Amino acid sequence: MLKKLLIPIFRHSRLQLQRWMQSIKNLPIVIKLIVISFILIAAPLGIASYLTYTSYSASIQKNTGKFQMDVVKELTANIDTYVNELNVLTLLPYQSPEILAYLEASPPSDPILSFNERVTLEDFTKRVFANGRVDISGITLYKMSGGTYTAMSEEQANYSLRPVEREPWYDKVSKTGKVVYIGTFNKNGSDASSQIYSFARKIRSVETGKVLGYLVLDVDKTIIRNKMEAISNDRKNIMIVDTAGEIVYKSMEDLIDAAKLMTYRGAGTVLYKQPEDTELLSYYTSPFTGWTIMEMVPLATLLQDTITMRNYTILISSVCLLLAALSIIAVAFRITNPISQLRNLMRKVVLGDLEVSIPIRSRDEIGQLSQSFNIMVSKLSDLGYRLYESEIREKNSQISALQSQINPHFLYNTLGSISMYAEIQGNKEVVKMTNNLSRLLRYSINSQQSQVPLNMEIEHVKGYMAIQQIRFEDKINFEVHVEPELLSYSVIRFILQPIVENSIVHGIEKGNGYGTIILTGKKQDENMLITISDDGAGMSAARLQSLLDKKLAPPPTEGTGGHGLMNVHRRIALRYGPQYGLKIESKLGQGTLISLTLPLIEADQEGGK
């Protein structure tokens, strides 16, 4: 089924391709030269410009990506150092036996700290705030047995009995013994300008390994921002994404799909497609913190110089193409103008003007062709003169031959003398034959008309049959039945007598020597139908088929064989068209019927068709 559907489509496509190729072949040579030359110049130039632009853009992206990766790695190392220092600070409780003792103490019965506990906690927080490497904005110490102590760098400490299990980060921190980034929070409620980063660690007993509590350190968000900007300089599109896909830090204000950024882990440089732009993204995941630091540069900004270079390249290429096109057109017309001139002169030669010649301006192929054309025209002129001279001589010889022929008037006078002597002697048959023969001869020779009224053609046939009846001693009966209104219409000369003669020669004579020939004529639709029938020998089916094949065959190249049946048919068909002509019906031993279909043409329209 599929094959049947594809075959017509394939054939149609092949035909369309052939027509397209033929239309290309039929284009003038100048158009072909211009188009081909333009393609041969424009295609390499366009490909070279495109490859230059793409390779230059790829080189810029590669070098920028490598530079971005170095910056991202340096930022990652800086953040790792900072987080490692936080990690060291979260280990300070293990260096303070008083803090460990406070955490191991039994649950408090009073929501107020004792004097010794307050002193112990204040000394510990002062040691954390007093370190010289990391700026801490807040400390929170959770006691598993109950009690939460919170101290801020510039605020009064706070103590409550809020259990650590209620904190949202508890499940994440309780599963590991390392320092954990627990998120970004607003230090003063909804004030977005006072955001902090919080890191937490689980505190265990050194002796038993029992979980004693949790230490949470708060760091001002501006500290990490300052560290980023100190290294990245003017590059503001920087982000930090933690292991959970949460954005720790971002320098841009645009909305970022954090879920999509989760797919970028490890190290690499890719093109990140934004709704409005495409950016070059370099990312690196820290093996220490698990954070992924990313830097993004808009591709439009990155390729600004490349676009400028591309525009200059297009401008220069366009100018070069314009100059090349003008040069190609000039060269193409210089090449094809002599060919066009030669073509125009050949058309004049076809019309019979042999007095033309083309000037030869070069010795290349076109010059040699022009020279050959001039020689050919010269020879054609000479041959034409010779042919004209030969035709004149042939006409002269024909005139001489005609002059040597018997003068028809002498023949008419001779026939008249014979008729006169026969009449004196009382021989009426000779008188009738000579008179009819004279009329037949005059009808055949004197008239210059190609068409005559039907009544003249019938009279000619009657005169012919009068002679034949005397010759056959009245053994042949001839009848004419023609509608009177048809007698004024024109017919071709000598189309009835050959058919009547055929009926006598091939019908009556080959039969028993007796017979009847009937000529009828009637109007049929808008045509004239003339039939000539005889009751002679007729013909076999094979003979009839032979005649019909001869009727359909092309005429012989030399001679027509007289006014025979086929000659009559061809004259009618050539004169009026293939729908008119002669039809033959015959049966062996029963006779033959020949029908002629002719158009109705008034006698005054002779020669009109």
The per-residue b/e assignment along 212-243, b for 16 or more CB within 10 angstroms, e otherwise, is: bbbbbbbbbbebbeebbeeebeebebbbbbbe
Residue 575 to residue 567: CA distance in whole angstroms? 12
- Host H or E run for residue 584: strand 581-587
- Number of Cβ within 10 Å of residue 362's Cβ equals 10
Given a cut of 60, whether residue 547 has pLDDT beyond it is yes
Q: Of the segments 135-139, 232-236, 392-396, which one has the largest average pLDDT value?
A: 135-139
pLDDT tens-digit series, residues 167-214: 888 888 888 888 888 877 766 554 555 678 888 989 988 888 888 899
Q: Are 157 and 240 in contact (CB under 8 A)?
A: no
pLDDT tens-digit series, residues 267-280: 888 887 776 777 78
Mean pLDDT of 149-173: 84
Higher pLDDT, 349 or 261: 349
β-bridge mates for residue 220, sequence order: 196
Q: Where are the beta strands (DSSP E) in 193-288?
A: 195-204, 211-220, 238-241, 247-250, 267-273, 278-285
Helices then strands, each counted (H, E), the chain: 16, 18
Given a cut of 70, whether residue 410 has pLDDT beyond it is no
pLDDT for 258 equals 63
pLDDT for 478 equals 92
The end-to-end CA distance of the chain, in Å, is 57
- Which tokens sit at 241? 């994404």
* CA nearest neighbour of 483 among 531, 523, 524, 532: 523
Given a cut of 70, whether residue 418 has pLDDT beyond it is yes
Q: Of the segments 201-205, 258-262, 602-606, which one has the largest average pLDDT value?
A: 201-205
pLDDT for 561 equals 37
Mean pLDDT of 588-592: 88
- Host H or E run for residue 35: helix 29-89
Mean pLDDT of 475-497: 90
Residue 414 to residue 540: CA distance in whole angstroms? 45
pTM for the whole thing?
A: 0.46
Q: Of the segments 62-71, 92-101, 240-249, 592-601, which one has the largest average pLDDT value?
A: 592-601
Residue 217 to residue 89: CA distance in whole angstroms? 9
At residue 606 the predicted structure's pLDDT band, cuts being 50, 70 and 90, is very low
- Between strands 490-492 and 451-453, the pairing is antiparallel
Expressed in percent and rounded to 5, the helix, strand and coil fractions of the chain are: 55, 20, 25
In order of 23, 174, 239, the CA distances from 12 in angstroms are 16, 76, 60
Mean pLDDT of 317-342: 81
pLDDT for 598 equals 93
Least confident of 234-243, 289-298, 475-484, 516-525: 234-243
Look-up: residue for tokens 């006409």? 395
pLDDT for 533 equals 94
* CA nearest neighbour of 596 among 529, 547, 501, 548: 529
For the chain, give the mean pLDDT: 79
